[in-house]
């Protein structure tokens, strides 16, 4: 019974959201070498175990509404604050 309780508590801790939206944006901004004019953030659960992630898009718009001068999308673990991935467009 004690072993079962241990795994239940551990599983709940892995799903806990410890990183706020504001913290996720700050972490993402540290990863880019430009000053974004637009910021979007989404919360997603990814993977087989539903790992919580913040996906932060940082951009500088282009001449048209559907293009960007600079764009970076940063995926951040909502539990640990670790950067799990990043994609850039120049």
Q: What percentage of the chain reaches a pLDDT higher than 90?
A: 67
Give the whole-angstrom CA distance, residue 10 versus residue 38: 37
Question: How far does CA 2 lie from the centroid of its chain?
Answer: 34
Which residues does 54 contact at the CB level (< 8 Å), separation at least 6? 19, 21, 24, 28, 41, 42, 43, 75, 76, 78
Domains of the chain, with CATH numbers?
A: 2-89 (3.10.450)
pLDDT for the residue numbered 55: 98
Q: Whole-structure pTM over 0.85, yes or no?
A: no
Tokens at 32, concatenated: 């880019």
Q: Is the dihedral of CA 76, 77, 80, 86 positive or negative?
A: negative
Mean pLDDT of 18-30: 97
pLDDT of 11 > 90? The answer is no
């Amino acid at each position: 019974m004690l072993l079962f309780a241990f795994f239940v508590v551990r599983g709940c801790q892995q799903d806990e959201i410890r990183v706020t939206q504001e913290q996720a944006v700050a972490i993402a901004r540290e990863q880019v070498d430009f000053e974004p004019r637009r910021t979007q953030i989404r919360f997603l659960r990814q993977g087989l175990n539903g790992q919580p992630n913040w996906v932060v898009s940082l951009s500088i718009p282009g001449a048209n509404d559907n293009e960007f001068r600079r764009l970076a999308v940063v995926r951040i673990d909502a539990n640990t604050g670790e950067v799990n991935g990043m994609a850039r467009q120049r």
